[in-house]
Structure 1
Amino acid sequence: MTGRIVVGVDGSERSIRALKWAAAQAALTGDALQAVIGWEYPASWATLMPGVPPEFDPERLARQILDESLERALAPDVTASVTRTVVGGNPSQALIDQSRGASLLVVGDRGHSGFAAAVLGSVSTNVSQHAPCPVVVVRGE
């Protein structure tokens, strides 16, 4: 019986590195790979982006980022076997929820948001403290 490795993806170079690491680990262990992206509207959505067209669909954009990240990071045969999960909500909480019952949760050390000087990003910090399974934080080169 195999397990499941969950990997957080946000399209950043660090998450691409985490995705590659998670895929290599899944190949070693025989675990299934689940790529997860979480999205949410910023608290000040209306004031930060007043000209956003009504047809803008953040869930569709998140799915596109996830698909493009998988295509960039993995061989087509590996990409085809990855379960893709798009969750509307806080990215940290989405990863924590999706990692229930998983063998491992993998994230990059920093993503698109946060302060560049931070050692760990907010998502990697949150999941390393609250995930219900072991967490691997893939750091820079």
Structure 2
Amino acid sequence: MVDQLVDETGRIVVGVDGSAGSEAALRWALAHARQMNASVEAVAAWQYPDMYGYSWGYLPSMPDGGDFSASAEKVLEEAVARVKDQVSTTTAVTTRVIEGHPAQVLMEASRDARVLVVGTRGHGAFAGVLLGSVSQHCVQHAPCPVVVVPRSDAGDAPVAG
């Protein structure tokens, strides 16, 4: 399926949260953007923490200054800069920070995309073979083809959905 995407044109949407998996996904998107004659749009999602924990004395960690949107934007910009420093590309990357659950944000952002690219975050030997909840949702519900890129240290090939 990935080979079928190469000759298409359009926009590649990639979910970026600053994790190693999302940076691997961004590297994949940049590497294939030129072949696909596509642009790359890196999307970060943020949301306010659930409130039910407050009644038990739990306070969620807050980003610097308490501004979730600014924190997500900073993480996104730093991740894009890091990846662009690692790869040789002239492909421009547009960025968007959107409030909402990551799976829903990516579904909406990829509505008219050629392909949606997400990474995995695996947590150990067993969990590493499973898709995370966001990538699983994207594979099952995205309005376009989805490529799931494993972390670069996993050594696996991308999975197309």
TM-score range normalised by the length of the shorter chain: 0.7 to 0.9
TM-score normalized by the length of structure 2 = 0.76
2 CA distance for matches of 1:14 and 1:50? 24
1:77 Cα deviation from its structure 2 partner: 8.5
Count of aligned positions: 138
CA distance 1:126–1:93, change in 2 (3 Å):
same
Q: Distance in 2 between matches of 1:93 and 1:52?
A: 22
Task: Check 1:54–1:20 CA distance in 2 against 1; reply closer, same or farther (3 A cut).
Answer: closer
Q: Percent identity?
A: 46
Q: If the length of structure 1 is used for normalisation, what is the TM-score?
A: 0.85
After superposition, the CA RMSD in angstroms is 2.6
Are residues 52 and 105 of structure 1, via their aligned partners in 2, closer, same or farther at CA, if it must alter by over 3 Å? closer
User: Partner of 1:93 in structure 2?
Assistant: 104
Which deviations, in whole Å up to 9, do the C-alpha atoms of 1:25-49 show, x marking residues without a partner? 1121110100000011221474542
Question: What corresponds to 1:65 in structure 2?
Answer: 75
Pairing of 1:73-92 with structure 2 (within 5 A): 73-75=83-85, 78=89, 81-92=92-103
1:54 deviates by 9.4
Structure 2 stretches lacking a partner, 5+ long: 1-7, 156-161
Which 4+ residue blocks in structure 1 deviate beyond 2 angstroms? 44-55, 75-80, 115-118
How big is the shift at 1:110? 2.0
Structure with larger Rg = 2
Where structure 1 has 5 or more consecutive residues not aligned to the other structure, the ranges are: none
Q: Does 1:43 align with 2:50?
A: yes
